[in-house]
Amino acid sequence: MKILCILYDDPTNGMPKNYPLSELPKIEKYPDGMTLPSPKNKDFKPGELLGCVSGELGLRRFLEDAGHSLVVTSDKDGADCEADRELVDADIVISQPFFPYYLTRERIKSAPRLKMAITAGIGSDHVDLDAAIEHKIDVVEVTYCNSRSVAEHIVMMILSLVRDYHHQHYIVNSGGWNIADAVSRSYDVEGMHIGTVAAGRIGLDTLRKLKPFDVHLHYFDRHRLSPDIEKELNLTFHNTVESMLKVCDVITINCPLHPETENLFDDKMIAKMKNGAYIVNTARGKICNKDAIANALESGKLAGYAGDVWFPQPAPNDHIWRHMPNHGMTPHTSGTSLSAQARYAAGVREILECFFEGQPIRDEYLIVQDGALAGMGAHSYSKGSTTSGSEEAARFQK
């Protein structure tokens, strides 16, 4: 079989010769008891860079020894890109949300042999799920592999926005010492009301991680958490996003991108928020309207916005979020720490082993199977496509 793998570019100065840590901490299980990815074998050292082209997710030896062919590229956007040329006879395509190969309806139509799209990470909105359902292409992801990595990033971003870390760091780097400047937008999070849109794996872990800061915790989700968890974290559940926005100083967005959540935070929704609230969005860029966010930062309606997700990705060089005031954006990195890469590379290998051996793929990994939403897809997504406009990614200039 032919496996096409789209990964982000190597480091500018080549692959690292060594890494800050010689080994990763051992993690036995995820908090709900789910086991970590468990392939029969691994051909990589956890802690090394695996998500870029030369890292190859540690898959080459495994695939070639079994007689398959592996094509790895980062050339994924624009007319006649390498990924499009290789897709036409590919059986499996692997892509990462950080550097997504948007599997649009046109691309799916161009690939008659395609059987499975694997997301090396979590979030399969870069695949036109409607088209995948119609063409009976299974869509799978490595559920939980980086949920806790993202939750750490969210806590970091909430603290850095509210305390205004970026500005203070900038003052030091530029040789200054004006403390009044440095603190004129700086607050404590203690006592604030913080709410999450969705309390799945990331949302719930974020709530747990925030609890020790002595904040008031709120959530909205289509699935209500158990009374035990609500009690443990002293959570306030809201039936609507609007009811939560009205009372929260900080909102963190943790739902998948699907037709119900696309453009959820537009001008109208932001107008319902408290004045001077903060948003941290590490879910997907398209959940927030890009101009509405930039305008709300300009006017002061929002005191800050941070996150690591954009639309499209890579974000064009002139994307307004690169230049708006009081933002704390990173490129899409929260789920691709070296720690997370080891888990999702192992998860992709587990999925491939199951596929080649005709064994069932874990239910938790399924988004679409046999022409229908399945597993986590049925729990967390709605049918439809959110890939329109993705061709804009070709405007990014290295």
Residue positions annotated with a catalytic role: 146, 284, 313, 332
Distance in angstroms (rounded) separating the CA atoms of residues 132 and 315: 25
For ligand NAD, the closer of residues 62 and 99 by Cβ is: 99
CB of 63 or CB of 287, closer to ligand NAD: 287
Query: Containing H/E element for 305?
Result: strand 302-307
* Residue in this structure with the two tokens 């305390």, named with its chain if needed: 163
Alpha-carbon distance 218 to 236, whole Å? 5
- Taken in order 380, 386, 387, 390, the sign of the CA dihedral is negative
Site string for ligand NAD, 256-285 (x = CB under 6 A): xx--xx--------------------xxx-
CB of 287 to ligand NAD, least distance (A): 8
The span from the CA of 23 to the CA of 19, in Å, is 9
Q: How far is the CB of 152 from ligand NAD (least distance, A)?
A: 11
List 222, 231, 322, 383, residue binding ligand NAD (CB under 6 A): 222
The long-range contacts involving 22-26, CB below 8 angstroms and separated by at least 24 positions, are 22/47, 23/47, 24/338, 24/339, 24/342, 25/339
Residues 347-386 that bind ligand NAD (CB under 6 A): 376, 380
- Region binding ligand NAD by CB under 6 A among candidate stretches 15-23, 72-80, 251-259, 267-275: 251-259
Binding test (CB under 6 A) with ligand NAD, winner from 90, 255, 292, 374: 255
The answer to whether residue 288 forms part of the interface with ligand NAD (CB under 6 A) is no
Residue 313 interacts with ligand NAD (CB under 6 A): yes or no? no
**Given the rule CB under 6 A, which of 39-47, 64-72, 75-83, 196-204 is the region that contacts ligand NAD?**
196-204
Dihedral of alpha carbons 23, 309, 90, 369, sign: positive
**Comparison of 62 and 219: residue with beta carbon closer to ligand NAD:** 219
Q: Which residue is nearest to ligand NAD (CB)?
A: 200
Amino acid at 364: E
Query: At its nearest, how many Å lie between ligand NAD and the CB of residue 299?
Result: 27
Strands lying side by side in the sheet with 216-220: 235-237, 216-220, 193-197, 250-253, 277-281, 302-307, 327-329
> Which of positions 199-218 make contact with ligand NAD (CB under 6 A)?
199-203
| DSSP 8-state secondary structure symbol assigned to residue 270 | H
297, containing H or E segment: helix 290-299
Cα distance between residue 206 and residue 314, in whole Å: 26
Q: Which of 250, 163, 244 is nearest to 215 (CA)?
A: 250
Q: Which is nearer to ligand NAD, 63 or 151 (CB)?
A: 151
Residue span 71-100 as binding mask against ligand NAD, x where in contact by CB under 6 A, dash where not: ------------------------------
Residues within the interface to ligand NAD (CB under 6 A)? 121-123, 146-147, 150, 198-203, 220-223, 254-257, 260-261, 282-284, 308-309, 332, 334-335, 376, 380
